[in-house]
């Protein structure tokens, strides 16, 4: 007679794996079977990480940089991220307000777990990346999906946001440029959203800017904390190297926000994973500069086969 399995936690029971993982596994299996497959499951560039970055990580390992890394990231990498935020996000961020994470997804997890209590509502403009719902469910929160219509270019409208806010609202998840729609929010769009948020000072904002460089038609990227600096003390701006630099498997993300929340996120990270892998965190200075130059040009180089593809995204 088979013994009954000991019960698992409620947080695991209420959290479902995103369908994108099943799609990706199926695509890999088909490719392994010899099929020519175009997978639209996971968002990643279709060219590999540039060789000089791979060599830099290899050399870091050979130099013995394989010990436990600093929990929040090395000072050198945080300074590179600080310069990146100043140049590309137009944000003046102190080092203590920066956290290096194991991919952008952990930054999202850290923020949600630091803010959300059981029953708190998280506003998610939809269509949305499936991982947001999973993370909110895991934390015990309630995902509140707010429709963004094609007629509005899939951008969150201020009146729609206002209507979704309740006394239980705790966090707004913004993602522009957006996955999956490709929508991008202009300064005017973000200004209108900020006007609503000023009326609701208890709501945090997580701005997921991971697709910041994938722009078309001369569109100018902007981020909420720079557009509305008066509410920046409750905004976390997250991005990373996965999408822009073809480094999805390296798992390097980072976020910047108010010191107290970043400290809380560091506690969550310490409990879950600790710091980013040392050979990735301790790249020598030329490779850290990947965060300190515009777009893909320095990273890919003039003759890299992926350069044209990267710039067309």
pLDDT (tens digit, 9 = 90+) per residue, 180-204?
999 999 999 999 999 999 999 999 9
24 domain-assigned:
yes
Q: Do 38 and 89 have their domain in common?
A: no
Average pLDDT over residues 66-82: 92
| pLDDT at 284 (0 to 100) | 42
Q: How far is CA 40 from CA 19, 37, 159, 180, 228, in A?
A: 12, 9, 32, 10, 34
Average pLDDT over residues 152-166: 98
Of 279 and 248, more confident: 248
| pLDDT at 106 (0 to 100) | 97
Q: Do 204 and 246 have their domain in common?
A: yes
- 249/21 Cα distance (integer angstroms): 15
What pTM did the predictor assign?
0.85
Q: Do 36 and 66 have their domain in common?
A: no
Q: Do 221 and 285 have their domain in common?
A: yes
124 domain-assigned:
no
pLDDT mean across residues, the chain: 87
Residue 287 sits in a domain whose CATH number is 3.40.640.10
- Cβ contact 24:42 at 8 Å: yes
Q: What domain count does the chain have?
A: 2
What share of the chain in percent tops pLDDT 90? 65
Tell me which residue range forms the domain holding 272: 51-116+172-311
Q: Do 31 and 178 have their domain in common?
A: no
| pLDDT at 295 (0 to 100) | 35
pLDDT score of 1 more than 80 = no
Binning pLDDT at 50, 70 and 90, where does residue 279 land? low
| pLDDT at 281 (0 to 100) | 56
């Amino acid at each position: 007679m088979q013994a009954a399995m000991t019960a698992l936690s409620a947080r695991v029971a209420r959290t479902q794996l995103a369908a994108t993982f099943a799609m990706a596994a199926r695509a890999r299996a088909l490719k392994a079977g010899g099929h020519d497959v175009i997978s639209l499951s996971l968002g990643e560039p279709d060219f590999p990480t540039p060789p000089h970055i791979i060599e830099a990580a290899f050399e870091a390992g050979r130099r013995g940089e394989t010990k436990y890394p600093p929990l929040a990231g090395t000072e050198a990498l945080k300074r590179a991220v600080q310069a990146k935020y100043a140049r590309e996000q137009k944000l003046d961020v102190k080092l203590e307000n920066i956290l290096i994470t194991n991919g952008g997804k952990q930054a999202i997890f850290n923020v949600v777990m630091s803010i959300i209590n059981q029953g708190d509502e998280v506003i998610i403009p939809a269509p949305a990346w499936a991982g947001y719902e999973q993370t909110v469910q895991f934390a015990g929160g309630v995902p509140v999906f707010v429709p963004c219509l094609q007629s509005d270019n899939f951008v969150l409208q201020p009146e729609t946001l206002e209507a979704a806010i309740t006394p239980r609202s705790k966090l707004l998840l913004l993602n522009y440029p957006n996955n999956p729609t490709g929508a991008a929010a202009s300064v005017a769009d973000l200004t209108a959203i900020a006007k609503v948020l000023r009326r609701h000072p208890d709501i945090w904002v997580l701005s997921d800017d991971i697709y910041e460089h994938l722009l078309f038609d001369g569109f100018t990227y902007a981020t909420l904390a720079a557009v509305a600096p008066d509410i920046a003390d409750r905004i976390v701006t997250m991005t990373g190297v996965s999408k822009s630099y073809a480094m999805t498997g390296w798992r390097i993300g980072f976020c910047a926000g108010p010191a107290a929340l970043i400290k809380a996120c560091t506690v969550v990270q310490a409990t879950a994973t600790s710091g980013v892998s040392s050979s990735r965190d301790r790249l020598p200075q030329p490779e850290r500069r990947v965060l300190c130059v515009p777009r893909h040009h320095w990273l890919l180089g003039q003759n890299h086969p992926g350069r044209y593809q990267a710039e067309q995204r």
